Chains A and B, each alone.
Chain A
Amino acid sequence: MAETMITAANLVKRFGDVTAVNNISFSVKKGEVFAFLGPNGAGKSTTIKMLTTLLQPTSGEITLSGFDVVTQQEEARKSFGIVFQDPSVDDELTAKENMWLHAVLYNVPKAEIDTRIKELLTLVELWDRRDSRVKTFSGGMKRRLEIARGLLHHPAVLFLDEPTIGLDTQTRNLLWDYVKSLNKTKHMTIFFTTHYLEEAENIAENIAIIDHGIIIAKGTTETLKKITKTKTLEAAYLKLTGKELRDEAANGTERLKLRYRARGGGIR
């Protein structure tokens, strides 16, 4: 049995009377690529925020790389990197300045900083724009910068929260190739969320599907297809979560109705 890298046990997060994450448990092995799927508002980002010390769980336990995320925050923070779903770069700084600051915050060896910055900015096709301030970038360019920055230090676990949203196909492929190579060569554990199911199908070894704060299915793509008697991950996913569009701000009763329909409705 390989070492476990992430364990979440009976994790709950409430915001007032909204239960964003409702008693979920899972574990991710060292070196594994793990996909966390679910509709908008399912609780994916909230879970990632708890795993990465940004939010305190209402209850439950998390260990990351052997450290308790709640009581040993500083040690836990040493073991992960993250690409957030929402913007987190400094608009007033240039692309290179953002990268450099990140490298210093994560204590990347001095001798490697410049080469890594060049390699990554070239990968995301921003090297020519390295000295432009980020506020002059388009949405897609900012997204690429976020990703490049997230890959700058080489953590034991990398969290990617919808990293490819708003990116073109070429860039998405480049990103996943790079992530896969980090996973292979550095044995980096990858935990990601996405709405592009083919990405999960292609690279994830294990998948958990979360809906309304509850994990409704776990396993490999094969397992999920088998239990839902479907042929693709997408079909399995739709069968498990229902077909309705979700709005992140959907209120409680609306969600309840959606849920009923999701459970009852037959899907092709």
Chain B
Amino acid sequence: MRVIYALWLRQIKRYSRARSRLVGAVGQPLLFLLALGYGLGSVFKRAGGGNYLHFLVPGIMAQTVLFSSMFFGINIIFDRQFGFLKETMVTPVSRLKIMLGSALGGATTSLAQGLLVFIISLFLGFRPYNWVMLLVVILILAMLATALTSFSSGVGAFVNDFQGFQAINQFLIFPLYFLSGALYPLTNAPTALRIIADVNPISYAVDALRAALINQSHYGYTKDFLVLGITMTILVLFGVYRFRRIEA
């Protein structure tokens, strides 16, 4: 446990020392909230969808966690380039702890960014239907972030260069995001879009967040958490598996 804590702390320190990152982390979701929330608000209302900003906030929180977690793996590539990866790879610590300690550090900062978006949305007039549900929101974001930072670490472990990592990320992030129901309700979506969303694990995270924040769900909590839990397990195992095979 102390090892996981030490590696977690390292990521937290590194993150907090690079303050410029925070500007980018908050700027993008804010832009989405303002442009989409206000821009499409009236159309959405006229179509009978209710308050679009309220509908959008859980989606943008998921987006924030998705984007920042998926970029976490870049740290593994930096660690390889700057040599620190060797230091961890020769230690007798199990690869599970090494992978998990760092990934949890990344997940913590992603979670914090997701919550920051929530706080910003309060200033834009958003209110959760029940404040106690904020605990569930934290759980969902933490699971999503852990799943994705583990996955991303695994990718960082076998892609050696920055460009390759970026290419894989771009290829994955946008479909995962746009085809998840983060921006539009799945209930009335065309069948093709709905089927794609059904196989996209991000949809279930978005859905769970929406259930917890505005009491509106497409799949239901049980299915949401089941999919989220399974996804997290598989992706953590993937990350560990890739870490076992690193050569430095």
State A90–B11 Cα separation when bound (angstroms).
Answer: 11
Chain B 85-110 per-residue mask, 1 if CB under 8 angstroms from chain A, else 0: 01111111110000000000000000
The answer to the question of B248 belonging to the interface, with a C-beta cut-off of 8 Å to chain A, is yes
Task: Check if A105 sits within 8 Å of B82, measured CB to CB.
Answer: no
A149 to B210, CA, bound (A): 49
For A, the interface residue count at a CB cutoff of 8 angstroms equals 30
Interface centre among B10, B84, B87 (most CB of A within 10 A): B87
**Cα distance A56–B84 when bound, in Å?**
19
Residues of B within 8 A of A93 (CB): 10, 13-14
**Residues of chain B lying within 8 A (CB to CB) of residue A74:** 92, 94
Q: B248 near A104 (CB under 8 angstroms)?
A: no
* Residue A244 interfacial (CB < 8 Å): no
Tell me, yes or no, whether B175 is within 8 Å of chain A by CB. Answer: no
Per the bound structure, the CA–CA distance linking A19 and B90 in Å amounts to: 24
A53-B90, A56-B247, A106-B91 as given contacts; A88 in contact with B83, CB under 8 Å: yes
B234 within 8 A of A: no
Report A50-76 CB contacts with B as 1/0, cut-off 8 Å. 001111100000000000000000110
Interface-centre pick from A53, A77, A88, A133 (highest chain B CB count, 10 A): A88
Chain B's closest residue to A103 (CB) is B6
Q: Mark B60-100, 1 if CB is under 8 A from A, else 0.
A: 00000000000000000000001110111111111000000
If A92-B17, A104-B3, A105-B3 touch, whether A84 touches B83 (CB-CB below 8 Å) is yes
Q: Give 20 A-B contacts (CB < 8 Å), ordered by A residue.
A: A54-B247, A54-B248, A77-B92, A80-B90, A84-B86, A87-B82, A88-B83, A88-B84, A89-B84, A90-B10, A90-B84, A93-B10, A93-B13, A97-B10, A101-B7, A101-B10, A102-B87, A104-B2, A105-B6, A133-B17
Residues of A in contact with B (beta carbons under 8 Å apart): 49, 52-56, 74-75, 77-78, 80, 82, 84, 86-93, 97, 100-102, 104-107, 133
**4 nearest A-B pairs in the assembled complex, by CB-CB distance:** A77-B92, A88-B83, A104-B6, A78-B92
- Where the two chains meet, the residues of B that have a C-beta atom closer than 8 Å to any C-beta of A are 2-3, 5-7, 10, 13-14, 17-18, 82-84, 86-94, 247-248
